[in-house]
């Protein structure tokens, strides 16, 4: 029989391994309802954007014909502030995004697929103090190089500040804007790839390494135009249109048109998460494993467990050898 000290060591190692396994399994929990949007003014939530300045706040707005306003929702879905866009018009607001210098809303809908010669994107600064207020909006006129079209998805790369719009319909396309938007003339969007069928919203991850585009039935995550990372199952919704990343980039938030609709939280698949930060060790600094590439946390877990078991075996063998030799 091994001494009690060995048993205690083995029990501790088993507990560590169990904790690591349970933590990995919990990383991909399914969709869950966070709360229900009960503000009667919000009847057609068509887009979402999670604030990075105000923790726990997510912005939304109403679809076409509503007032030119954005609502700041708290973690309980209660409206904490209403931001009014002075000088803007809500002809057919369909998308929103946070950029390096403010909150952007896309008046980019065109249900007649070409009736409007240009569309407009509005920007207001994100206020440092969250309270209801009116802010002067800056307008950017948008055209597509291959002609007018309907769209409901607008994204801004947080690294470059560049604007992207995905068209909605059969044979959807992703368009890229100029390096910098200008208030004079037109900002021309050029096609850079395809987009999911009937795209209704999208967003870049906070670190800009990936973006998600959703439709009514599913969502897809890409690392670049045309380079898909993962499919994301989404819950059934009345008319699901809004999507954004949480501020930590590990989950997605989803909204739907209609009154008293829930706000859903869906985990980002492990395959679409950024690799964990590498811990510098003497072997790494000497060059060992430097070119081996990144490994996700779920793949590292079996390796760590094997190392723990091997260590336990060596410890038990050493103790028994010492005991027999005495």
What is the rounded distance in angstroms from the CA atom of residue 154 to the CA atom of residue 158? Answer: 13
Given this model, what pLDDT does residue 149 score? Answer: 94
pLDDT tens, position by position, 34-50: 999 999 999 999 999 99
Does residue 68 register a pLDDT over 90? yes
Given this model, what pLDDT does residue 278 score? Answer: 65
Instruction: Flag the least confident range among 132-141, 154-163, 234-243.
Output: 234-243
Does residue 111 register a pLDDT over 90? no
**Torsion sign across C-alpha atoms 148, 94, 258, 30:** positive
Across the chain, mean pLDDT equals 83
Residue pair 241/152 in contact (Cβ under 8 Å)? The answer is yes
Q: CATH number of the domain at 31-272, out of 3.20.20.140, 2.120.10.30, 2.60.40.10, 3.40.50.720?
A: 2.120.10.30
For 285, phi then psi, to 5°, come to: -65, -25
Mean pLDDT within 73-96: 97
Does residue 5 register a pLDDT over 90? no
Given this model, what pLDDT does residue 15 score? Answer: 42
The 10 Å Cβ neighbour count of residue 212 is 26
Q: Which residue has the higher pLDDT, 100 or 1?
A: 100
pLDDT band for 314, please (50, 70, 90 cuts). Answer: very low
Does residue 59 register a pLDDT over 60? yes
C-alpha 65: how far from chain center = 27
Mean pLDDT within 306-314: 45
What is the rounded distance in angstroms from the CA atom of residue 75 to the CA atom of residue 256? Answer: 17
Given this model, what pLDDT does residue 305 score? Answer: 45
- Torsion over CA of 159, 161, 166 and 167, rounded to 10 degrees? -170
pLDDT tens, position by position, 152-208: 999 999 999 999 999 998 778 999 999 999 999 999 999 999 999 899 999 999 999
Residue pair 261/45 in contact (Cβ under 8 Å)? The answer is yes
Instruction: Flag the least confident range among 117-126, 156-165, 312-321.
Output: 312-321
Nearest to 21 by CA among 228, 301, 292: 301
pLDDT tens, position by position, 262-309: 999 999 999 999 887 665 555 443 333 333 333 334 444 444 444 444
State pTM to two decimals.
0.78
pLDDT tens, position by position, 13-25: 444 443 343 333 3
Report DSSP state, residue 271: G
């Amino acid at each position: 029989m091994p001494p009690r000290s060995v048993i205690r060591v083995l029990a501790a190692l088993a507990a560590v391994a169990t904790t690591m396994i349970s933590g990995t399994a919990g990383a991909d929990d399914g969709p869950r309802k966070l709360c229900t949007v009960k503000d009667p003014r919000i009847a057609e939530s068509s887009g979402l954007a999670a604030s990075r300045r105000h923790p726990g706040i997510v912005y939304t707005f109403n679809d076409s014909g509503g007032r030119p306003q954005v609502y700041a929702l708290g973690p309980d879905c209660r409206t904490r502030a209403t931001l009014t866009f002075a000088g803007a018009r809500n002809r057919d607001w369909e998308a929103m995004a946070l950029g390096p210098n403010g909150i952007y809303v896309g008046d980019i809908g065109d249900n007649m697929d070409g009736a409007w010669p240009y569309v407009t994107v509005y920007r207001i600064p994100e206020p440092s103090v969250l309270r209801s207020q009116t802010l002067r909006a800056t307008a950017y006129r948008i055209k597509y190089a291959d002609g007018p079209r309907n769209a409901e998805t607008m994204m801004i790369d947080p690294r470059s500040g560049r604007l992207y719009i995905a068209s909605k319909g059969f044979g959807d396309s992703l368009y890229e804007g100029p390096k910098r938007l200008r208030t004079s003339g037109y900002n021309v969007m050029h096609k850079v790839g395809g987009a999911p069928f009937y795209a209704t919203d999208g967003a870049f991850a906070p670190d800009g390494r990936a973006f998600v585009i959703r439709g009514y039935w599913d969502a897809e995550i890409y690392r670049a135009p045309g380079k898909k990372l993962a499919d994301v199952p989404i819950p059934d919704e009345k008319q699901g249109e809004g999507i954004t990343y949480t501020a930590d980039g590990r989950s997605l938030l989803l909204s739907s048109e209609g009154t008293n609709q829930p706000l859903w939280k869906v985990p980002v698949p492990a395959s679409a998460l950024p690799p964990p930060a590498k811990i510098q060790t003497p072997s790494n600094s000497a060059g060992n494993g430097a070119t081996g590439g990144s490994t996700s946390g779920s793949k590292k877990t079996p390796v760590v467990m094997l190392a723990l078991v091997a260590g336990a075996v060596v410890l038990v063998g050493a103790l028994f050898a010492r005991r027999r030799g005495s």
